[in-house]
Homo-oligomer: A and B are copies of this chain.
Amino acid sequence: MGQQDEDMPSMRSSDGSATRSVRSDAKRNTDALLEAAMEVFATRGVDAPVREIAQKAGVGIGTVYRHFPQRADLIAAVFRREVDACADAAAALSASYGPADALAAWLLRYTDFIAAKRGLAPALHSGDPAYVSLHSYFKEKLLPVLRGLLDAAIEAGEVRDDIESMELLSAVANLCISAGKADGAVARRMVSLVVDGLRYGATDKS
């Protein structure tokens, strides 16, 4: 379902200027906006002034509202973007490490993501229609990734095989949320403990 702006002759206007040029302009703006919003949300919280985000992205305030009519739309877009990044990180880790180490490394990456998103937890549980879809997006995107990593590690006999990936996904998230607001160090330690627990019951006890 990606946008296929490429290779479409009909999109060129008669004067030779590409219609896409204005679209790429808009796309550059949304990208800059998402990037700026991510940084501002991280440092000043999700209630940060829209003006600050617009300024950081180098666009007018009106442009923010053109692309994201409500603040929640911008927040949701940033959230999806980071979910994607977290999901995508798995491939590189699988290529670089053995199954159990890749699983461990990804869980820490996932931990950092959750810890950074703690400010969003209340909004996600608020029932606000703008956020309800984020729950399923989160699960549909990350559960298969974790399942893949977990199955590979189980297959290799490097971790125990009596843990459900969904339970693990929820457990780690809950750990991170309740593990205080210490910049994620506590959360990482707790998760490492869980990972060691996974390794402890490995079928291959060599």
Instruction: Name A residues whose Cβ lies closer than 8 Å to a Cβ of B.
Output: 118-119, 121-122, 125-127, 174, 178, 180-181
- Chain B residues with Cβ below 8 Å from A119 are 122
The docked-state distance in angstroms from the alpha carbon of A122 to that of B121 is 8
- Which residue from chain B places its CB closest to the CB of A174 in the assembled complex? B178
Give the dominant DSSP class at A's interface. Answer: helix
* Total identical chains: 2
The docked-state distance in angstroms from the alpha carbon of A125 to that of B122 is 11
The docked-state distance in angstroms from the alpha carbon of A180 to that of B185 is 28
- Which residue from chain B places its CB closest to the CB of A47 in the assembled complex? B47
- Which residue from chain B places its CB closest to the CB of A181 in the assembled complex? B127
The docked-state distance in angstroms from the alpha carbon of A119 to that of B121 is 11
A204 to B: closest C-beta gap in Å: 35
- Chain B residues with Cβ below 8 Å from A125 are 118, 180-181
The docked-state distance in angstroms from the alpha carbon of A98 to that of B174 is 36
The docked-state distance in angstroms from the alpha carbon of A180 to that of B178 is 16
The contact sample of 9 A-B pairs, CB cut-off 8 A, is A118-B125, A119-B122, A121-B122, A122-B122, A125-B180, A125-B181, A126-B181, A127-B181, A174-B178
Q: Which 7 residue pairs are nearest across A and B when measured between Cβ atoms? A: A122-B122, A127-B181, A125-B181, A121-B122, A126-B181, A174-B178, A119-B122
Can you name 6 extra interface pairs (CB under 8 A) apart from A119-B122, A121-B122, A125-B181?
A: A118-B125, A122-B122, A125-B180, A126-B181, A127-B181, A174-B178
Which one of A119, A122, A127 has the greatest number of beta carbons of chain B within 10 Å? A122
A83 to B: closest C-beta gap in Å: 20
- Which residue from chain B places its CB closest to the CB of A180 in the assembled complex? B125
